[in-house]
Amino acid sequence: MNIIEIVCDNISKSYSGKSIFKNLNLKISSRESLTITGRNGTGKSTLIKVLSNLVKNSKGRITVRENGKDLNAETWFLRTGLLTPYYNLYDELTGSENLRFFYELKLQENKKEEFINERVNFFLHEVSLYDKRNELVKNYSSGMKQRLKLAFAVINEPEILFMDEPRTNLDKYGIEIMNRFAGAQKEKGILIIATNDEDDKQLCDRTLNIEDYR
Amino acid sequence: MNKTIRASVLIFRKDIKSELRTRYVINSLLMFVLVTISIIRFALGDEKTENEILTGLLWISIFFTTSNGLSRTFVKEEEKETSVALKLSSDSIPVFTGKLFFNLVLTFALNFLILILFILITDYTIKNLTGFLITIVLGNFGLVSASTIIAAIISKANSKGTLYPVLSFPVLLPLLITVINATKLASLGIDTEKLSGELMILVSYTIVITVASFMLFRFVWED
């Protein structure tokens, strides 16, 4: 089994001179999980964005390693999945079209049509959206959109899964689905959740309070 | 199929499908074309107008239609908050290539319409059709290459509407001067061979801007 590691060496992030967090050191490996906590506006989401390479850190170094070998930062997106409130999928496409488009984009080799269909349908079943697969996403409820985003985050079976406030818009049934994916991720890779929810904290082994790095 | 080409084709196809379903750009541009052409018709009246002036009016129509539409390809991704999902799924090169081809298709379709309407409502005569068509095609390639990267840059800004003309004018000025001159000469019947200087400038401009765009886009997209 591949061992993936994220190593943060003294990283800091500031916007327009205002420090969000500083001198943060972190090492997390496969089969480990971490909760990032902190009050609203203290930088939990920013840290998730920095770790998932959506935003560059201002200082320090982040390395993602596979079996001890550094990975090119430009290919991290192939290893990660992200579930956050600050992006949307395409409203004008159906749920099935969205998943298919993003899955095909992440594929590194040509796959047969049947293989792609099977995989997309499997994940639509997993998030209980198979019956609504041919409806435009703009007609989905906010909970259904969040479940589709969950399928989008995990469809490429990422080694690293980031979740930022994952319960947003989810009902009890949706939370059960989310917990199932989070549990599966802990078994095979890295799980990082930004949350203040006590139940979410129970999902992870370690906790990092972002307010300790202000 | 090479993975970069495959991803570019996927993004191009997605943009076409999205546009056909939402008509985010097409409807407003069609109206813009009709209004512009109508205003030109009313302004000219029945007076006989020189080809020099008509060429200028033709490129004014093409430039403003293009600048109205092409800026929206990236702005839409930012406004609808879908750019993050795209960033999480693809390298920057296929994104730029897909958007560039979408803009090319859109621009060629609209400019074909502008050209037909323009010829129908004015007395615009084209004496060297081959030279004219080559000029229009090369001009469009240059216009789309420059406009696509500018669209990507302004999509990150707060004042997108005002920034586009401010950024695009100086970048497009060499292209516009050359393309207007070449179009005018072709319409007056100058041989294509004698237009080779202008055509070489257009080809060079397009190559330089396209190469620079591919080099720059990664920094714009990943910021």
pLDDT truncated to tens, each residue of chain B (223 aa)? Answer: 688 999 999 999 999 999 999 987 888 889 989 999 999 988 888 778 888 899 999 999 999 888 888 888 888 999 999 999 999 999 999 999 999 999 999 999 999 999 999 999 888 889 999 999 999 999 999 999 999 999 999 988 877 777 888 888 899 999 999 999 999 999 999 999 999 999 999 999 999 999 999 999 988 887 6
* Neighbour-count burial of B17, counting CB atoms closer than 10 A to its CB (0-12 exposed, 13-18 middle, 19+ buried): middle
Chain B contact set for A157 (CB, 8 A)? none
| Count of structural domains within chain A | 1
Q: What is the pLDDT of residues A89-126, one digit of tens each?
A: 999 999 999 999 999 999 888 888 899 999 999 999 99
**Pick from A82, A89, A104: CB nearest B10:** A104
Residue to mutate among A56, A92, A105, with most B CBs inside 10 A, is A105
CA distance B158 to chain A (A): 16
Cα radius of gyration rounded to whole Å, chain B = 18
pLDDT of residue B84: 93
CA distance A213 to chain B (A): 24
pLDDT of residue B157: 81
- From edge to edge, which strands make up the β-sheet containing A18-29? A18-29, A4-15, A59-66, A69-70
Q: Do B81 and A86 touch (CB under 8 A)?
A: yes
pLDDT of residue B133: 95
Chain A contact set for B3 (CB, 8 A)? 107-109
Shortest CA distance from A106: residue in chain B: B89
Using CA atoms, how far apart are residues B94 and B97, in angstroms rounded to an integer?
5
B158 three-state secondary structure: coil
**Structure tokens given for A214:** 């202000």
pLDDT of residue B73: 86
Low-confidence ranges of chain A (pLDDT < 50): none
For A149, list phi and psi in degrees, rounded to 5: -65, -35
CA distance B96 to chain A (A): 14
B167 three-state secondary structure: helix
Alpha helix stretches (DSSP H) within B24-158: 26-44, 51-70, 72-79, 83-87, 92-121, 129-154
**Pick from A54, A56, A106: CB nearest B89:** A106
Using CA atoms, how far apart are residues A192 and A48, in angstroms rounded to an integer?
8
**Pick from A74, A89, A136: CB nearest B85:** A89
**Structure tokens given for A67:** 């079996």
Shortest CA distance from B1: residue in chain A: A110
Angstrom distances, CA of residue A92 to CA of A2, A204, B10, B15, B73: 38, 36, 16, 10, 15
Q: Do A88 and B85 touch (CB under 8 A)?
A: yes
**Pick from B7, B17, B84: CB nearest A105:** B7
Q: How far is CA A94 from the centre of its chain?
A: 22
Q: Do A105 and B84 touch (CB under 8 A)?
A: no
Q: Do B18 and A104 touch (CB under 8 A)?
A: no
A56 three-state secondary structure: coil
Q: Do A105 and B90 touch (CB under 8 A)?
A: yes
CA distance A105 to chain B (A): 5
Angstrom distances, CA of residue A81 to CA of A77, A103, A142, B87, B220: 8, 11, 20, 11, 22
**CA-closest candidate to residue A132, choices A166, A176, A121:** A121
Shortest CA distance from B218: residue in chain A: A74
CATH of residue A131: 3.40.50.300
Q: Do B14 and A101 touch (CB under 8 A)?
A: yes
* Domain limits for position A20: 4-213
pLDDT of residue A10: 94
**Structure tokens given for A85:** 């409130």
Using CA atoms, how far apart are residues B128 and B1, in angstroms rounded to an integer?
41
Using CA atoms, how far apart are residues A6 and A102, in angstroms rounded to an integer?
24
**Structure tokens given for A104:** 């095909």
**CA-closest candidate to residue A210, choices A58, A35, A9, A83:** A35
Using CA atoms, how far apart are residues B126 and B183, in angstroms rounded to an integer?
9
A9 and chain B in contact, CB less than 8 A: no
CA distance A148 to chain B (A): 12
Contact status, residue A133 vs residue A95, Cβ threshold 8 Å: yes
Angle at A149 between CA A134 and CA B19, to 5 degrees: 55
CA distance A50 to chain B (A): 11
Using CA atoms of B46, B47, B53, B56 in order, give the dihedral in degrees to the nearest 10.
Answer: -20
pLDDT of residue B1: 66
pLDDT of residue A16: 85
Q: Do B222 and A52 touch (CB under 8 A)?
A: no
Q: Which residue has the tokens 């055509």?
A: B199
Shortest CA distance from B13: residue in chain A: A101
CA distance A77 to chain B (A): 5
